[in-house]
Chain A
């Protein structure tokens, strides 16, 4: 006999609202139905009521974790409509901010995953590390969540002392290598909670079009930083970690290795930071009529913005946001089929979902 267990919308595991109806037989999950929309704020519609300065501040608030990525993607799209090209220093600063945000997001996720595994000490360790990343972000931008770094044609703030940031990156990397990665990769508790759990096969990952670490953990080697470089990524030397098992452990491994690669990219960008201007110029911008699209590899995967402009307007006619969780969340249904009920919170967390992004 099957029975239904509703999980959410006020979620016991992940402190954001969404609902999962789990169809179970005994302790085994047979199927699941997902419901989203609890965070729907109508942001795409609101964007049509804001001018080209205000819309950047609005879209920064789509997400509290990858706020910088949203403004980066939006500004890149709007730069295509205004014909502006950010100067080299701005492109490097965009890479630095994006990688710091990836570090912050991945370490945050590692802490939450540790908590769901029953590793409370590890949770505290990860959040202590996250604080160090937040300190760097605050040192650069003056803010801890909405950094306000991106503008059309460049960035708003400079990085005055790259050498000081390099020291902070070294400390962070040392802590990751010494504490976090060994525990996640070698401890028997982490292995028993994560290995062969919540498997997403390569074929299913391709079929569902999942992105980011979820795709790369299922053997899909896609990363926009490599496939369609933006900002200064074409000048960075880095690896794209790929695992083939498709389970929670593979997703954990991909993110752990990406933390190391982010440190690598940050070191390169801070060392090679070119001198020069921060933006393409002041003054009123002229938008060409039409649609422009931009894609960026956010911590959770590909973000895409389509921005449409009408002639003579200072407001967008349409801003469409496709976030990574919007395409990764349907994969949860496949991941939980056949799983033990007790594993479902960790399986859901393993895609690093952001409901705020998904609902917009």
Chain B
């Protein structure tokens, strides 16, 4: 049995979860985003959003995935070594727009999906880091 399979029973009490800043964070490591999505589907958790962070210096990007489970906010952090992560769009269609927004605004790639038509912008290039553009 994996950590994620025992979420409801252990959410508030056991080691792989830490409540901080209003979120029940999974501290299990390493996490695979597609396995997390499958586990959340099995639990009938509702996908909320992904928050993207551009870390200072050469630390790259961090993505935080959030689901709601009966009013509890679950968080799964992923530190990206490069500029891509597997898409979970085929497992969770609610993720569509936020994956597209992050791709268009942070130039991160969600592997295994298409982005057309562009959600936010016009043009030929989908992935642009708007923060870099704004400097």
> Which residues of A are at the interface with B, using a C-beta cutoff of 8 A?
33, 35-37, 40, 42, 45, 77, 80-81, 206-209, 222, 224, 226-228, 290-295, 302, 304, 306, 308, 317-318, 320, 322, 326-327, 329-330, 359
Interface check B64, CB cutoff 8 A: yes
CB < 8 Å: which of A33, A37, A81, A209 contacts B21? A81
List residues of B (109-135) whose CB comes within 8 Å of A's CBs.
Answer: 117-121, 130-131, 134
> Which residues of B are at the interface with A, using a C-beta cutoff of 8 A?
20-23, 44, 46-49, 51-53, 64, 66, 68, 70-73, 75, 92-94, 96-98, 117-121, 130-131, 134
Given contacts A35-B119, A206-B46, A295-B73, contact A327 B20 (CB under 8 A): no
CA of A199 to CA of B37 in the docked complex: distance in angstroms? 27
List, sorted by A's number, 24 A–B pairs whose CB atoms are closer than 8 Å: A37-B121, A45-B131, A80-B22, A207-B93, A207-B94, A208-B93, A208-B94, A209-B46, A222-B68, A228-B71, A291-B21, A291-B23, A292-B21, A293-B73, A304-B49, A304-B66, A306-B51, A306-B64, A320-B49, A320-B51, A322-B48, A322-B49, A322-B98, A330-B96
CA of A317 to CA of B62 in the docked complex: distance in angstroms? 13
Given contacts A80-B21, A306-B51, contact A37 B120 (CB under 8 A): yes
By CB atoms of chain B within 10 A, which of A37, A224, A293 has the most?
Answer: A293
**Are B21 and A42 in contact (CB-based, < 8 A)?**
no
Q: Which residues of A contact B94 (CB under 8 A)?
A: 207-209, 327, 330
Q: Which residues of A contact B131 (CB under 8 A)?
A: 45
Q: Which residues of A contact B98 (CB under 8 A)?
A: 322, 326
CA of A208 to CA of B92 in the docked complex: distance in angstroms? 8
Please give 13 more A-B residue pairs, beta carbons under 8 A apart, in addition to A209-B94, A293-B22: A33-B117, A35-B117, A36-B120, A77-B22, A209-B46, A291-B64, A304-B48, A306-B51, A318-B51, A320-B52, A322-B48, A326-B97, A327-B49
CA of A294 to CA of B75 in the docked complex: distance in angstroms? 13
**Are A330 and B71 in contact (CB-based, < 8 A)?**
no
Chain A nearest Cβ from B56, distance in angstroms: 8
Q: Quick one: closest A residue to B67, CB to CB?
A: A209
Chain A nearest Cβ from B107, distance in angstroms: 14
Q: Which residues of A contact B47 (CB under 8 A)?
A: 209
Q: Which residues of B contact A327 (CB under 8 A)?
A: 49, 94, 97
**Are B120 and A290 in contact (CB-based, < 8 A)?**
no
Q: Quick one: closest B residue to A329, CB to CB?
A: B97
**Majority-rule SS of B interface residues:** mixed
**Are A293 and B121 in contact (CB-based, < 8 A)?**
no
Q: Which residues of A contact B120 (CB under 8 A)?
A: 36-37, 40, 359
Chain B nearest Cβ from A110, distance in angstroms: 27
CA of A310 to CA of B114 in the docked complex: distance in angstroms? 35
Chain A nearest Cβ from B102, distance in angstroms: 10
Q: Which residues of B contact A77 (CB under 8 A)?
A: 21-22
Q: Quick one: closest B residue to A288, CB to CB?
A: B21
CA of A291 to CA of B63 in the docked complex: distance in angstroms? 12
Q: Quick one: closest B residue to A204, CB to CB?
A: B93
Q: Quick one: closest B residue to A37, CB to CB?
A: B120
CA of A290 to CA of B75 in the docked complex: distance in angstroms? 14
CA of A295 to CA of B130 in the docked complex: distance in angstroms? 26
**Are A209 and B48 in contact (CB-based, < 8 A)?**
yes
CA of A359 to CA of B64 in the docked complex: distance in angstroms? 20
Chain B nearest Cβ from A331, distance in angstroms: 10
Chain B nearest Cβ from A328, distance in angstroms: 10
Q: Which residues of A contact B119 (CB under 8 A)?
A: 35-37
Q: Quick one: closest A residue to B72, CB to CB?
A: A228
Q: Which residues of A contact B130 (CB under 8 A)?
A: 42, 45
By CB atoms of chain B within 10 A, which of A42, A306, A330 has the most?
Answer: A306
Q: Which residues of A contact B134 (CB under 8 A)?
A: 42, 45
CA of A45 to CA of B70 in the docked complex: distance in angstroms? 32
CA of A144 to CA of B75 in the docked complex: distance in angstroms? 37
CA of A343 to CA of B106 in the docked complex: distance in angstroms? 37
Q: Which residues of A contact B73 (CB under 8 A)?
A: 228, 293, 295
Q: Quick one: closest B residue to A48, CB to CB?
A: B131
